[in-house]
Amino acid sequence: MDRREALMILKVKQDSSQEEIKTSYRKMVLELHPDKNKENYEDTKFKKITEAYNFLKKNEVDKTIHHQTKKNSGNQRVKPKPQWGAPNDGNIPEQDWSKYTRGFEEGDPAFWKEYERKFWEDYNARVRADGKNGEYEKAREPDQQPDLRVDVDKSLCIGCCSCEIIAPGVFEIDKNSRTNPKSKVINQKGAGVNKIMNAAQTCPTKAISVENIRTKEKLFPY
């Protein structure tokens, strides 16, 4: 898949912003979700729009660098921003990896596992030529974990499965149910704050709320 094909699938223009692309994707997810459309044709279209969105999201950084270089005139050289938001000192920010994946609203378990694997492979290849300090097997959590209240809004849940894929110790999807909501919280402390926040941020309908019990701060939705 290339950018032109992905834009056509999501019915957006070449110069559309990432926010416009996300809005179109979420609208199509609601229209074509397999729970609402039992035909195999609709299920295939649902997977296709998800693939297109993830392609555009993954290539967003590269597009920014391309435009920055194109705007440069004469012989002046532009230093590209470090890939994946890496700092100039070469340190690897594994502890904040959720910000690289929060936009991937994917309901296909196989795709998500492949993406997580590829994430750390690509990260090591782009940021550290020697491949050291890879953290594919784990995403570092803070030593001091906040006490969180996690809830699923039943009126918003469409059972896209991303929460269970990311944080299976916290969320469970009733795959035998033919009606929504299918997702529920089974253990508030079943994962660290990074995984819980990542799961909440990937929900296309923002059905998951996260709150710091001690400070009463609402962490998500913002």
Residue spans of the domains in the chain: they are 1-81
Domain 1-81 - what CATH class?
A: mainly alpha
Q: Round to whole Å and give the CA distance between 3 and 52.
A: 8
The predicted pLDDT at position 86 comes to: 43
Per-residue pLDDT reduced to its tens digit, 145-188: 999 999 999 888 888 777 888 889 999 988 788 788 789 999 99
Per-residue pLDDT reduced to its tens digit, 25-76: 888 877 766 555 555 555 677 778 888 888 887 776 444 444 554 555 444 5
Q: Round to whole Å and give the CA distance between 76 and 72.
A: 7
CA distances (Å), origin 208, targets 179, 204, 220: 18, 10, 8
Lowest-confidence region among 51-65, 119-133, 180-194, 208-222: 119-133
CA 18, distance to chain mean position in Å, is 13
Residue with tokens 């590829």: 118
> Residue 99 is encoded by which pair of tokens?
């910000």
Q: Print burial letters for 131-165: b (CB count within 10 Å at least 16), e (below 16).
A: eeeebeeebeeeeeebebebebeeeebbbbbbbbb
* Amino acid, single-letter form, for residue 180: N
CB hemisphere CA count around 106 (13 angstroms): 23
The predicted pLDDT at position 82 comes to: 43
* Residue 125 or 218, more confident: 218
